[in-house]
Structure 1
Amino acid sequence: MNKHFLVGVITLGVILQGLTACSKSAAPNANQPQDTAASTATYPFRDASLSVDARVDDLVSRLTTTEKIAQMFNDTPAIERLGIPAYNWWNESLHGVARAGKATVYPQAIGLASTFDEDLMLRVATSISDEGRAKYHDFLSKDVRTIYGGLTFWSPNINIFRDPRWGRGQETYGEDPFLTGRMAINFVKGIQGENDNSDYLKAVATIKHYAVHSGPEKTRHSDDYHPTRKDLFETYLPAFRMAIAETNVQSLMCAYNRVDGAPACGNNELMQEILRGDMGFNGYVVSDCGAIADFYESRSHHVVDSPAEAAAWAVKSGTDLNCGDSHGNTYTNLHYALQQGLITEDYIDIAVKRLFKARIKLGMFDEQDRVPYSEIGMDVVGSPKHLALTQEAAEKSIVLLKNNGVLPLKAGVKVAVIGPNAVDEDVLVGNYHGVPVKPVLPLEGIVNRVGEANVFYAPGSAQIADIYSHYEPISAENFYHKDANGNLAAGLKAEYYADYYNAAEINDDTFSATPALNRIDADINFSWPVSPIDNSLDDEFSAVWTGILKPKKSGSYRFSGTVALAINGKPVNGAVNLKAGESYNIKAIFGVQKWWPVNAIHPYGKLTWLDESRDLEEEALAAARKADVIIFMGGIDAHLEGEEMPLELDGFTHGDRTHINLPKVQTNLLKQLKATGKPVVMVNFSGSAMALNWESEKLDAILQAFYPGEATGTALANILWGDVSPSGRLPVTFYKGVDDLPAFNDYHMENRTYKFYRGEPLYAFGHGLGYVDFAYNNLVVANTAEAGKALPIAVSVTNTGKMQAEDVAQVYISLLDAPANTPIRDLKAFKRTKLAAGESTELEFNLPARVLTYIDDNGKTQTYTGRVEVTVGSGQKGYVKENAIAVATINVQ
């Protein structure tokens, strides 16, 4: 099968059939300032001199019940009589502004976590909100109010990556609650502009998915999880608590699953007692998309029988905004819930006030000159500053797992770049991403670094089975059509339609729509920042290409891209044997509509192919024989691991993993490459831990790249040739396999993550090598500490190498006398340090009093007394060189 969603007879239309399209509510004139309508300028809710609460109260008091309920859906209609424009709350910014055309693409979240760099995270998030603001105002200037065009971002994902089989773990900051919390705090501050001294929010960040949520994907709509009280408060809630306590985070998304019987979006303990009460969260809550329908769906939780009951339950529990699904807006049933006495309008008022409070704080009802962020122009999108930042992030995110001395590579070395991910743009971006501005593929970065004459490339193999990564656009020399005289002419006949039609409609004999545009296209390789029909932004359209394909070479071809394809009248779904010079009638169909997963902002129409009859293995060995060093670009990508997908293959199911081994076809190829006697450096791309057991034993060096963003190629080349010393650290444990882990759907933390795992990991949490060593000594910490007091620590660190480099100092504590089953060790602080060759410095940490506490079996925080082991160094005790860590044991009284 093909790796891409939209191939063969699978089209955008087929995937999206049955989904309800976004409503097309009228909006005020785009020439009005910001979201202001002149006719309502005197209303108090328009008066920026009033308090936000006073403005919210005035606005909501003017709404009818019907208008209020309509505002509780992610795609809200305009209230024209009050000059309130339509707004779509759904936007994404996981590692860059997503799904809204071109934007700087940073390393995937798991890669950002591997930097262990709080300042970097703040700068990245600040740049993302810069680009988000610029796009928002640009859309408004064109009167476009679309999904993925707003200022309410549904990021970050701060779930705990407790099990390496979870396909969405790539979206998180790893397995440790403290690291996750610290990265989340900086991300939220950067998105919302909390360091800007502004009265306005720059954008809204949404911490998600609350709570106890980390797979499996296939059963997330029906699963009921039962964490222990200790695990709930020790592992699943701390990152949310930290983000709420240390930022003004405005939004939270509740999860699909149930927790102890109640859906997360209707769990009163989680939502009311803990979130609103204990944690003091005062923002709005949005449901995960379709989560409210799961309350009553027979194939999901089915804890109530009707949409009205589900809507009432969710709103009363504090879920203010419903992100819909194929059912549309479950909250429309609040009308019935009111009639049946299931809810009172007071609950609806509370929810709507929370929502309008966010919009007012974003400046959506004020003159633009009052909102400083409105001055951010589109020139920030993909600016040189942001592209430099994503390269810095990529370089800091890549983890050197093993090195026998082959790295860094020497000048003049000839390299064979082999592997399925060498030219795979998907490994740059992971999931939830925008369109890279200047993507640099791994192969491209190496060629740029050392020159084409020193690089021999071969894809070598599929990623797995028949999923390949080296598709190429079909060049124009292969396409023809018959002109009016019946003669062959270059190019394809193209018909463009002003509306969205799926492939089934266009292939129907009764289809009678008239094309809005007819022309000849040289090939099918389009990037449309605006509609090809009328140059409008965010507009639905369809295209049909017909003509003749004449391949230059015989072979067994596979096709990919974003179009549905038929050859000689038969839908293509698999390999097709084609002969050189023969003519094949083709029909390709493309459609784009204003809805997930492919919206109408900057769509791509592409048809690509590859010849699977090539002997990829022999090509790889031939390339290897010409080189001094083999660089293998392998692993997986986000078409194998990710969110709720239909894929079923060895090791993969519905976006999750069933085992974590490298696909066999890649390991087999690696064994043959190693047999050549040439040094082999592996670069592994994945958003999750990989059991690289044979690879770790036999290969000369291994780099874990995660999904490093659009500067991947440049960053990799800089590290491989030693311009930069690797400094990334693993935010997850790399296990040797999953056989000794608890069941994937078991949410108990026993024998999970570095904190509780009793086995021997392949590579430990926090592991990462560099081209220089850092020595830690002179650890200063009191022999006796007072319970309930902060714990100051100081330590000296020295770069013992011959080049400037960065290290991540990690502080762990172990409560040696704790009466409960406390973690083996627990990360409590970290700090990046850049030192010149031979340079030393002193690091200081002031661990807060809560560090010397533990969670008992009832989920209660208890003050600790007894012995505490404190370690400070380049990683965990037992997994780093002796001089790379300093250790002390103290007594807490």
Structure 2
Amino acid sequence: MMKSKTTISKFLKTKGYTFLILSLLLVIVSCGFSQSTKQFEFRDENLSFNKRAESLISQMTLREKISQMRFDAPAITRLGVPEYNWWNECLHGVARAGEATVFPQAIGMGATWNPSLILEMGNAVSDEARAKHHKFVDEGKRGIGQGLTFWTPNINIFRDPRWGRGQETYGEDPFLTSRIGVNYINGLQGDDDKYLKVVATAKHFAVHSGPEKSRHQDNYHTTDKDLYETYLPAFEAAVTEANVYSIMCAYNRYSDVPCCGSNLLLSKILREDWGFGGYVVSDCWAINDFWQPDNHGVVETPEEAGAMAVNNGTDLNCGNVFDPSLEDAVLKELIDEAKIDLALIRLFTARFKLGMFDAPEHVKWAKIPYDVVASDKHYALSERVSKESMVLLKNDDNILPLSKDLKSIAVIGPNADLVQSLLGNYHGTPRNFITPLKGIKEKLPNAKINYALGSDIASGWPTLKPIPSKVLRTAKSAGLKGEYFSETNFKGNPVFTQVDSIISFIWTPKRPIKDLKSDNFSVRWTGELVPEEDGIYRIGLKSSSYGKLYVNDSLYFEYHADYEPLTKYFDTSLEKGTSYKIKIEYENTLSDPQAHLLWAKLNEDLLPPAIEAAKQSDVVVLCLGLSPEIEGEEMPVKLDGFDKGDRTQLTLPAVQIELMKKIKALGKPTVLVLMNGSALAINWAADNIPAILEAWYPGEFGGKAIADVLFGDYNPSGRLPVTFYKSVNDLPDFKNYNMENRTYKYFKEEPLFAFGHGLSYTDFEYTDLIIKQEVKLNDSISISVKIKNTGKVAGDEVVQIYLTHKNRLYQPIRSLVGFQRVHLKPKETRSFDYRIGPKQYAFINQNGEEVLEPGEVEISVGGKQPSTSYKNGSVTNVLSTQVILIN
């Protein structure tokens, strides 16, 4: 026995090693041959996308599969699968990926009431998306914001004006939201029979519209009627009409179950009822909420959370719960690997449908040249969308349009020259920043323009501006010394050193370092700050990626901006003439590099300069409103009237109201321009300011569009996509998701400005309404009416059709069932024809069922809702008639 063992041992030490090595080589060669065969199969462009996805996934290990279910999916080199980051945004233009055309914020898109225009806008945005993506890939860049899967549009219903993210939606009405949303999705995804242009993602599914600060804990309940009448129609249209390829599930729970783990929402409604065939992505880190006890806490471990999400239909995780937790979940038999395979098939089918594994010459979208980005054509379109979004709320005595012969004009207010209020949130980086001040200066080059800030946006929120070079010093000159490094972490020696007079940089489309091959670089600025006045100052650093700010060698703050530029600040007392050492360390890893050293002196009296500017002027334009810096997504902001991105009051901030009253008391002709993302209770202004223009967050050409409207080069034609209420006291509790007394459909009181409201510089008259008095169920209701422009200037009218079910309980006061923009020359008359389909005139019962029954309905056709009147401005009438629905 001992001899035998010794013999075997000697064999293994000699020829046995050779045999073993040869055997291993044979296995490797065999695997390699098999592997290449399979790789060829999933790269075969003649196979279906689904078959190719199945073939690819069959070659993956469980570990590899799970790695592809996170938003930042790593490369699988052995299979030839490149890394891919699924996270991208294009809410109103390609966002956070460097230079792009910035269109008006989504709420402004809704205010156009022009779906065909938004289709055109979607085509332009996806052109830029494709061009940018292929340029990134050519440069070896596959990071966040550089892919073709966009988490847009936000088609939640803006049911409550307190919601800070309502600016991202198309308004409060499901039908208007559906029409705008379907067209934007169609523009984004393209019209090719084989390849998607980009993937659009309808979000946030479902029953999601604030509050922001408790979205990770909240559990919302609705009636079945409200669910199917209000919260689901836009999503259903996105799936069944636009074939949207991705859905993002929401943070909150619905009926006790987290939306990203809801069998009702993701399996029953989305896939079974509507036939959705794409993939579902979680909102970012939403699945963590499943197990975190301070949030939803419905399970105890990350493994259970991941399994719950995937088992119920979530395929992709914006977060890190799936990886590695799903591997443990499989081992613990919380989930079957077949469920993971199903999710992977959906995800890779999307990548195949985008042409990511095919020859670029075979994908027509890959041929879009880069010069479409920020092109003149897209600029003209952005400006047009901005103009069409402008809503003239009030125009007493036709004070507007203003004369271009004015000798002097005061432009006053915190939004008069604030760049951020052009952009809204989720925006790209434009080349143009045409503020109202700049737009008016360009419109009246020979007039004296008297500008003053007048007030901050809100008390405690000063307007930060770049720190001027006159108070920044290096050893020999004004400014700060900048050392520029071609890598992060300030590795090696600087590529070059220069004195920068101010620190306010946006490095798009070019980087600060010539021929830089990646997005990775770093800059260190050093010098001194020597203020010219004593006072308390707010000092801030706004930058992308990673930043640190030191004062007198002490680190005041550092932060990491994961995806978009972030502003961090501190308040401090500074003494005149005292030197304070400043050091900024900035490291960039993203495709939208920028850095800004900002400040503002606190507690300044901004009123006197504004009053003086008004006194010296013939007319005053007050630019007031809100800012995306204080209303938006889950913010740290806590101010009077604002709470973590939401609002607690609907009024303008008190400092702006004071400014408005002081200016009005001077007796000067005054026009109010509002820039904001949500409805405002501007009661005093509605009673005292003769002209009010709602401009929203109007995009990079917003100031030009505002000036064109104010001075009559464009006739305003936007309509409100939301109700303007008189007080927050008119509203139910913010967390109450039942629709009673919400939106124009159920609000029983008189609004300040009604949904659908908008004036013009001309008048429109409706005549000759023709509708059959009896219509059989399931037949369309045909409408014909004549519209005449009775005024002296051309303009767009928005024809609005509302339907009311008579003698039925629990139904809306009225519902929008049709609309159309119509352009009319002076004195021109046009016939307008429309058909209301059965789905539009059906009603939703208490069980959430769509019902078609005999009965009486009232149909109203006009330029506004029936039973609403306006004090002054353009005139438009509404015609109404009764229709009997019969079997």
TM-score (norm 2): 0.91
Q: 1:110 to 1:58 in 2, by over 3 A?
A: same
SS in 2 for 1:574: strand
For each residue in 1:498-522, what CA deviation from the matched residue of structure 2 results, as whole angstroms up to 9, or x when unmatched? 6656xxxxxxxxxx97654462322
For 2:435 and 2:87, how far apart are their aligned partners in 1? 30
User: In the alignment, what sits opposite 1:784?
Assistant: 774
8 A contact 1:429–1:707 mirrored in 2: yes
Provide the aligned length of Structure 1 versus Structure 2.
827
Residues 261-317 of structure 1 deviation map (CA, whole Å, 9 limit, x = unaligned): 111011101111111011111100000000111110111101000111111111011
User: Aligned equivalents of 1:190 and 1:578: distance in 2?
Assistant: 56
Correspondence for 1:708:
698
Deviations 1:246-275 (A, max 9, x none): 112100000011011111011101111111
| Structure-1 separation of matches of 2:104 and 2:807 | 40
Q: Kindly provide the CA deviation profile for residues 697-744 of structure 1, in whole angstroms up to 9, marking residues without a partner as x.
A: 010111111101010111000000011111110000000011121100
Counterpart position of 1:822? 811
1:527 CA drift (Å): 2.3
- Please give the secondary structure, in 2, of the residue aligned with 1:153: coil
Secondary structure of the corresponding residue to residue 416 of structure 1: strand
Question: 1: CA distance between counterparts of 2:37 and 2:580?
Answer: 59
Alignment equivalent of 2:401, drawn from 408, 423, 431: 408
In structure 1, what is the equivalent of residue 437 of structure 2? 443
Deviation at 1:853, TM superposition (A): 1.3
Correspondence for 1:16:
none
Q: Give the structure 2 partner of residue 635 of structure 1.
A: 625
Residue equivalent to 2:415:
421
Partner in structure 2 of residue 231 of structure 1? 226
Unaligned runs of 5+ in 2: 1-34, 557-568
Corresponding residue for residue 210 of structure 2: 215
1:354 corresponds, among 333, 346, 352, to: 346
Deviation at 1:63?
Answer: 1.5
Q: Name the residue aligned to 2:181.
A: 184
Q: For the residues of structure 2 that align with 1:167 and 1:883, how far apart are their CA atoms?
A: 33
Does residue 852 (structure 1) correspond to residue 841 (structure 2)? The answer is yes
Partner letter of residue 677 of structure 2? G
| 1-structure distance, mates of 2:620, 2:174 | 38
Equivalent in 661, 664, 671 of residue 654 of structure 2: 664
Please say which structure displays the higher CA radius of gyration: 2
Letter in 2 for 1:369: E
- Check conservation: 1:255, 1:264, Cα contact below 8 A: yes
Matched ranges for 1:242-281 at <5 A: 242-281=237-276
Distance 1:40 1:714 in 2: 59
**CA 1:490 to 1:456, structure 2 compared with 1: closer, same or farther past 3 Å?**
closer
Q: Which residue of 1 is the match for residue 500 of structure 2?
A: 522
2:205–2:250 Cα contact (<8 Å) kept:
yes
Q: Quote the Cα distance in structure 2 between the aligned partners of 1:289 and 1:536.
A: 31
Q: Mean alpha-carbon deviation: is it higher for 784-793 or for 314-323?
A: 784-793
Q: Is the 8 A contact 2:139 2:518 kept in 1?
A: no
Q: For residues 13-55 of structure 1, what are the alpha-carbon distances to aligned partners after superposition, in whole Å with 9 as ceiling and x for unaligned?
A: xxxxxxxxxxxxxxxxxxxxxxxxx978961211112222221
Give deviations 1:722-779, integer Å, cap 9, x for gaps: 1111111000000001112110001110000000001110000000001111111111
Partner of 1:644: 634
Partner SS for 2:82: coil
Structure-2 separation of matches of 1:298 and 1:317: 21
Q: Could you tell me which residue of structure 1 aligns to residue 668 of structure 2?
A: 678
Choose the corresponding residue for 1:536, options 516, 536, 549.
516
Preserved contact between residue 70 and residue 318 of structure 2 (Cα < 8 Å): yes
Looking at structure 1, the residues matched to 827 and 541 of structure 2 have their Cα atoms a distance apart, in angstroms, of: 52
Asked whether the 8 Å contact 1:286–1:319 carries over to 2, the reply is yes
Listed one character per residue, the Cα deviations across residues 138-174 of structure 1 (whole Å, up to 9, x for unaligned) are: 0011010010000000000000000010000000011
- How far off its partner does 1:576 sit? 3.5
Matched AA of 1:790:
S
Whether the 8 Å CA contact 2:287–2:321 is kept in 1: the answer is no
CA distance in 2, matches of 1:691, 1:749: 20
2:871 is aligned with 1:886: no
Please name the residue that 1:775 is paired with.
765
Which residue number in structure 2 is paired with residue 338 of structure 1? Answer: 330
Q: Which residue in 1 is equivalent to 2:22?
A: none
Map 1:103-114 onto structure 2 (within 5 A): 103-114=100-111
Whole-Å separation in 1 of the counterparts to 2:37 and 2:795: 59
Cα deviations by residue, 1:560-596 (Å, 9 ceiling, x for unpaired): 34265444456472154342xx2513223243454xx
State the alpha-carbon separation in 1 of the partners of residues 493 and 535 from structure 2: 35
Structure 1 residue 159 corresponds to structure 2 residue 123:
no
C-alpha contact 1:112 1:393 (8 A) present in aligned 2: yes
Equivalent position SS for 1:845: strand
Q: List per-residue Cα deviations over 1:634-673 (Å, max 9, x = no partner).
A: 0111111000011111110010011111000010111110
Match of 2:31 in 1: none
1:368 match? 360
Structure 1 residue 452, shift from structure 2 partner: 5.9
On the 8 A contact 1:592/1:603 being kept in 2, the answer is no
Change (3 A) 1:666 1:452: farther
Where does 1:454-533 land on structure 2 (aligned, <5 Å)?
Answer: 454-469=448-463, 471-482=464-475, 488-496=476-484, 516-517=494-495, 519-523=497-501, 524-529=503-508, 532=512
Residues 777 and 885, structure 1, Cα contact 8 Å, conserved in 2:
no
Secondary structure class of the residue paired with 1:462: coil
Q: What is the DSSP-based 3-state SS (H/G/I as helix, E as strand, rest coil) of the residue aligned with 1:889?
A: strand
Instruction: Choose the corresponding residue for 1:835, options 824, 827, 832.
Output: 824
On the 8 A contact 1:443/1:713 being kept in 2, the answer is: yes
Q: Confirm or deny that 1:75 pairs with 2:72.
A: yes
Distance 1:629 1:759, change over 3 A: same
Shift of 1:614: 5.1
| Aligned equivalents of 2:78, 2:514: Cα separation in 1 | 31
Q: Does 1:301 align with 2:296?
A: yes
State the AA in 1 paired with 2:437.
Answer: L
Task: Give the whole-Å Cα distance in 2 for the aligned partners of 1:612 and 1:552.
Answer: 14
Aligned letter for 2:382?
T
Tell me the CA shift for residue 468 of structure 1: 2.5
Residues 34-113 of structure 1 aligned to structure 2 (within 5 Å): 43-113=40-110
Correspondence for 2:447 among 431, 450, 453: 453
Change (3 A) 1:721 1:40: farther
Cα deviations by residue, 1:374-413 (Å, 9 ceiling, x for unpaired): 1111211110010000110000101111111210001212
Alpha-carbon distance in 2 for matches of 1:218, 1:478: 39
Among 377, 388, 402, the alignment partner of 1:385 is 377
Q: 1:282 aligns with which of 277, 284, 289?
A: 277
Structure 1 distance, partners of 2:614, 2:479, is: 39
For 1:805 and 1:309, how far apart are their aligned partners in 2? 59
Residues in 2 aligned to 1:266 and 1:473: alpha-carbon distance in whole angstroms: 46
Deviation at 1:489, TM superposition (A): 3.8
**Contact 2:315-2:347 within 8 A present in 1 as well:** yes
Equivalent of residue 316 in structure 2, options 316, 321, 333: 321
Q: Within 2, Cα distance between the matches of 1:297 and 1:613? A: 42
Q: Which amino acid aligns with 1:451?
A: P
Match of 2:26 in 1: none
In structure 1, the partner of 2:128 is 131
Task: Point out where structure 1 has 5 or more consecutive residues left out of the alignment.
Answer: 1-37, 483-487, 502-511, 595-599
Distance 2:357 2:223 in 1: 46
C-alpha distance in 2, partners of 1:41/1:383? 43
